[in-house]
Structure 1
Amino acid sequence: MDILSIVPPIVAVVMAIITKRVLFSLFISIWVGGLIAAGGNPFEAVGQTFTWMKDVMVDPWNARFLVMTALLGTGAAFMFKTGGSEGLIKILQKRLTTKKRVLFLPYFLGILIFFNDYVNSVIVGNATKDITKKHKISREKLSYVIDSTAAPMATIGPVSDWIGFQVSLIAAAFASLSIVGMEPYFVFLQSIPWNFYAILCLLAVPMIIAGKDFGPMAKAEHRAHTTGKLIPDGSTPLSSVEQDLGEPFQKEGSVWNFILPLVTLISVSIWGLWYSGGGATGKSMMDALADTDVSVALTWGAFAMTTVGIILALVQGMGLKKCEDTLLGGIRTMLPALIIIVLAWSIGTVTAELGTAEFVVSATEGWMTTALIPFLVFAISMFISFATGTSWGTMSILTPIAIPLAYTMGGEELIPIVIGAIFAGAIFGDHVSPISDTTVMASIFSESDHIAHVNTQIPYALVPAGIAGVMYLLYSLIGSSIILLIVGIVVQFFLLRYLGNRHEKKFGEVG
């Protein structure tokens, strides 16, 4: 565990932002990790790089996730090819007549689809990318709305695979401390008001939609509004259904060609989460979610969605060859994203091998005081999830360390506060990291350039994160999460308003 362990993720992030070439940046950063692991031998580093990539691809969970992502692409392809997307637009455009109203559609859908963040991105992206295109809304703005509702919503519920996972981590920490009399799920519920970033982030979205943009997002919206260019010149969207699939087979398709595959995806995925967790054996929903195999459940849902899409296409008269071409086209739309996901997992393996998280935790342990614990846990969680690109991995690393620390230094009362801080920091780092799978998913299904999405989202994420950090510092003076939240929400409202007005006054841009 030394300072070299933080070099590979820093290389990945800095190179991605400077070069705007995420594949190249991720590969180089993995090789740098291999160079460190191989003691400076560049040839051994190449071998190590491909070994790490091989290892993440043969991992059962990861392999199923790659299949699931490809199947989500094929399901979306059939929605488009059968005219379901066009049918949805025809219904929605009668009611959604302004840009603000259109942007509230992905926001409310993101709130409603709370049981899994990946499914959230798929559904919200496919339901809204065409109508937002008609209203000249930049892909960066759409991907921000998708990304800022998916994970924050999944982490606070009411029921999701995230919550099952989080409760299982809390239960394991309690077992290691032999804590009795504290029910893990109840403690999780107590931690929700202390998850300041998730709550502020969910509220920032409507504040920004109803208000004015600032920073890189304002420039993106100005570009889209004045030129009709939804992505920056010279950039490449992670997926483009139109480019990969051509014209729809049925331009006058029914909205049912969109709704039926979607309902199938949701219902089979929820059933799969319950069933694969042992729900059929009599377990409660929360216990089943704690033990579920997310990759299996969502693969079932994605396969069922694609199957329904094929059936609808055949009913419409699409031949088997056209169906096969649509399948391959759907996988093709996902190909850049699949490669990025493999590379992002590999850099996660690099940080695990080099002990990045352990180094960060050990470097800050000496600063810990009871009053500072929530803030430091939040900051450490932010850094680890940003560097590794995984919120679940960050939660897994920090929960068994931070809960005993909180219990020892502050007793039972401090535990929900620290749990909220862990989850809040994990979501923030995951949000703004270009190597995060959830950030990649938001880029895919909004058809955004990935680095453009990251660059425009960071300033918007920093506002609730900065306010949340101050709120954690104030917790020892103001013991009530509700009072802190009320103050934080008011401050966020006026700060976002000030930033929007300041940008408009300085640049005079629309958006």
Structure 2
Amino acid sequence: MDVLSIVPPLVAVVLAIVTRRVLLSLFLSIWVGGLIAANGNPFGAVAETFTWMKDVMIDPWNARFLVLIAFLGAGAALLFKTGGTEALIKTFEKRITNGKRSLLFAYILGILIFFNDYVNSVIVGNASKDLNARYRVSREKLAYVLDATAAPMATIGPVSDWIGFQVALIAASFASLSLTDVQPYAMFLQSIPWNFYAILSLLAVLTVILGKDFGPMAKAEKRARETGKLVDDEAVPLSSVEHDLGEPFESEQKASVWYFVLPLVTLIVVGVFGLWYTGGGMEGLSLMEALENTDVSVALTWAAFAMTLVGFIIGLRRGMSLKECEETVLAGIRTMLPALIIMVLAWSIGAVVDSLGTAEFVVRLTEGWMTTSLLPLLIFVIAMFISFATGTSWGTMTILTPIAVPLAFTISGVEFIPIVIGAIFAGAIFGDHISPISDTTVMASIFAGSDHIAHVTTQIPYALVTASVAGLLYILSAFIGSVIVLLLIGIVLQTFLFRFFGRRSFYN
């Protein structure tokens, strides 16, 4: 059973890339997991499959997340229909005059929207998608910019729901070790420079924007530049606001950029307030203390509803009828249906690997021969694999933190813990970043308007370069004690590699 436990996630990833049919691939991989769990009984496999799917849909967090995604789709539809997106383009069209500037606009906005990765994808995607289309930037390239800034920024802060979650995991590990004289948040801050993948990923995006592409991304960019086709002829984007909604609402009143700004400011303000409030902010806790205990799904659902409500009111003030506003909301939800189905299937894969013990099997393979010098690299690689196979960085962090932190403390004491924490979070973000069953990867595809598998395959070479450099830095950490020196080495090496491959790309 142990070896077989890694088969379902591998089937999901391989089939999705080979067939380009994400839904079918995910469903078949769940059925394969059911077949293993039912000891080869195909009818038992069907029963297990739908039991897993039922269980993940009735989970309170998951159920609220499905509502959240539906409201985000409705809010995005209202941004478009009221003319807010079009007004934003007209506001920036004199300043953003080429493809590089339009991508830099998306990149800077992605850095600024740091408190949640989902909100990051919604805001940055809606704000920059049409601007980038104007200058023939491929949807794959925009999806990469969205994906490579969302989770990396959320995990290193300065304030986010991710950080609250990560600090809570560290605190639980310290409690098991009876480490009362070490503050979890302070330890998290010390771990940030050791999160090599997140830091290098953010810098890689800038290098790619200002330099040249290589691999499948270069091919996609060449297609977009020369033919104007933002997606490939065979591509099937997960959603298309323009296709589902038609043209923006026409009115004698000129559309204002405030129709775009107000709903998104509402999303951010209500989101931050919700994170603080549901974490106990009204009880006198600080923001960081509240983030350690917050209910992300509740807070962000409030925010998405508030965003939709403000967009609805703007639509009515623009002169849209109640029926038109309602139809826009329903159309926006329809654009999210493929994503909602993918989410359910991806969560079901998570239930499969949890039931079969995939993560525990991977950890057991290595824990017997770990050494101090190898531990950061091995933790990084294990986290990469688990996160890639399961599509969840938070799940990976939850699995590995209680194992790796005590192990690091036992081997080398408190001073070694920040390195291992950084390695856990870095590996978790890598897998979550490029896995076709990752929620953040799906969100990037949706709000960039990209074919999902095309997004995954075009960004994998870039992510692998960054991950390889990060892995090398964890090896060098056994010989070089300064994390600043290590980061400088990593930045120089990564920049060289991106430029080296870019100069030799066949498609440029």
Q: TM-score scaled by structure 2?
A: 0.99
Report the Cα offset of residue 366 of structure 1.
2.0
Q: Distance in 1 between matches of 2:360 and 2:129?
A: 41
Query: What is residue 259 of structure 1 aligned with on the other side?
Result: 261
CA contact (8 A) 1:64 1:296 kept: yes
In structure 2, distance between residues paired with 1:337 and 1:419: 31
Q: Distance in 2 between matches of 1:70 and 1:323?
A: 15
Deviations 1:380-418 (A, max 9, x none): 000000000000000000000000100001111110000
Aligned to 2:422: 420
Residues 86-113 of structure 1, C-alpha deviations (whole Å, 9 max, x = no match): 0000011110001111100110001000
Write the mapping of 1:434-445 to structure 2, written as runs, cut at 5 A. Answer: 434-445=436-447
**Which residue in 2 is equivalent to 1:121?**
121
Which shows bigger deviation, 242-251 or 410-419? 242-251
- The corresponding residue for 2:32 is 32
What residue in structure 2 maps to residue 44 of structure 1? 44
Residue of structure 2 equivalent to 1:14 = 14
Residue pairs, 1:268-283, within 5 angstroms: 268-283=270-285
Tell me what 1:236 maps to.
236
Is residue 2:215 matched to residue 1:215? yes
What is the CA-CA distance between 1:163 and the residue it aligns to?
Answer: 0.3
Residue 253 of structure 1: how far off its partner (Å): 1.6
Does 2:332 match 1:330? yes
**What is the distance in 1 between the residues matched to 2:265 and 2:199?**
28
Match for 1:414: what amino acid? F
- Give, in whole Å, the separation in 1 of the partners of 2:291 and 2:367: 33
For residue 461 of structure 1, report the CA deviation from its aligned partner: 0.4
Equivalence for 2:168: 168
8 Å contact kept, 1:239–1:444: yes
1:488 matched to 2:456? The reply is no
> How much has 1:29 moved relative to structure 2?
0.2
Q: State the identity as a percent.
A: 72
The answer for the alignment partner of 1:376 in structure 2 is: 378
3-state secondary structure, aligned to 1:193 = helix
What is the one-letter code of the residue matched to 1:193? P
Please name the residue that 2:320 is paired with.
318
Deviations 1:63-122 (A, max 9, x none): 000000000000000000000000000011110001111100110001000000000000
The 5 Å alignment of 1:343-492 reads 343-492=345-494
Larger mean Cα displacement after TM superposition, 227-236 or 139-148? 227-236
Q: Are 1:95 and 2:107 matched, yes or no?
A: no
For the aligned residues, what is the CA RMSD? 0.8
Measured in 1, the distance between the counterparts of 2:318 and 2:17 equals: 45
Task: Give the paired residue count.
Answer: 506
> What is the distance in 2 between the residues matched to 1:481 and 1:425?
17
**Structure 2: tracts of 5 or more residues without a match:** none
Contact 1:389–1:434 (CA under 8 A) maintained in structure 2? yes
Separation in 1 of the partners of 2:257 and 2:102?
18
Cα distance in 2 for residues equivalent to 1:343 and 1:253: 39
Deviation digits for residues 33-81 of structure 1 (CA, Å, limit 9, x no counterpart): 0000011000110111011111111101000000000000000000000
Deviation at 1:427, TM superposition (A): 0.2
Q: Secondary structure at the match of 2:256?
A: coil
SS in 1 for 2:504: helix
8 Å CA contact 1:83, 1:254 repeated in 2:
yes
Structure 1: how far apart are the matches of 2:110 and 2:326?
A: 31
What is the DSSP-based 3-state SS (H/G/I as helix, E as strand, rest coil) of the residue aligned with 1:259? helix
Report how far residue 311 of structure 1 moved.
0.4
**Contact 1:81–1:250 under 8 Å retained in 2:** no
Quote the Cα distance in structure 1 between the aligned partners of 2:84 and 2:266.
14
Quote how far apart the aligned CAs of 1:250 are. 3.2
The letter for the 2-side match of 1:84 is G
Q: Which amino acid aligns with 2:148?
A: S
Write the distance in 1 (CA, Å) between the matches of 2:450 and 2:348. 23
Q: Deviations over 1:178-215 (max 9, x none)?
A: 11211100000000000000000000000110000000
Using the TM superposition, give the Cα deviation of residue 317 of structure 1 relative to its aligned residue in structure 2, in angstroms: 1.0
Shift of 1:316: 1.0
What CA distance in whole angstroms lies between the structure 2 residues aligned with 1:145 and 1:433?
Answer: 16
Please report the TM-score for the alignment, with normalisation by the length of structure 1.
0.98
| Residue deviations 1:343-387 (CA, integer Å, cap 9, x gap) | 000001100000000000001112201110000000000000000
Write the distance in 1 (CA, Å) between the matches of 2:235 and 2:319. Answer: 37
How many angstroms apart in 2 are the aligned matches of 1:176 and 1:284?
24
For 2:467 and 2:454, the matched residues in 1 are separated by: 20
Look up the equivalent residue of 2:33 and give its one-letter code: G
What per-residue deviation string (whole Å, max 9, x for no partner) do you get for residues 407-451 of structure 1? 001111110000000000000011111000010010011111000
Per the alignment, residue 200 of structure 1 pairs with 200
The aligned residue for residue 135 of structure 2 is 135
- Name 1:107's counterpart in structure 2: 107
Unaligned runs of 5+ residues in structure 1 are: none
Q: Distance in 1 between matches of 2:459 and 2:208?
A: 12
| Cα distance in 1, alignment partners of residues 313 and 31 from structure 2 | 45
Give the secondary structure class of the aligned counterpart of 2:171.
helix
Distance of 1:423 and 1:42 partners within structure 2: 38
Structure 1 segments, 4+ long, off by >6 Å, are none
Task: State the partner residue of 1:156.
Answer: 156
Question: Shift in Å at residue 167 of structure 1?
Answer: 0.3
Matched, 1:190 2:157: no
> Aligned partners of 1:243, 1:97: CA distance in 2, in Å?
26
Query: Aligned partners of 2:207, 2:477: CA distance in 1, in Å?
Result: 25
Conservation of the 8 A alpha-carbon contact between 1:231 and 1:448: yes
Distance 1:259 1:332 in 2: 24
Moved more, 251-260 or 273-282: 251-260
Instruction: Give distance in 1, aligned partners of 2:117 and 2:434.
Output: 16
Select which of 293, 296, 309 maps to 2:295: 293
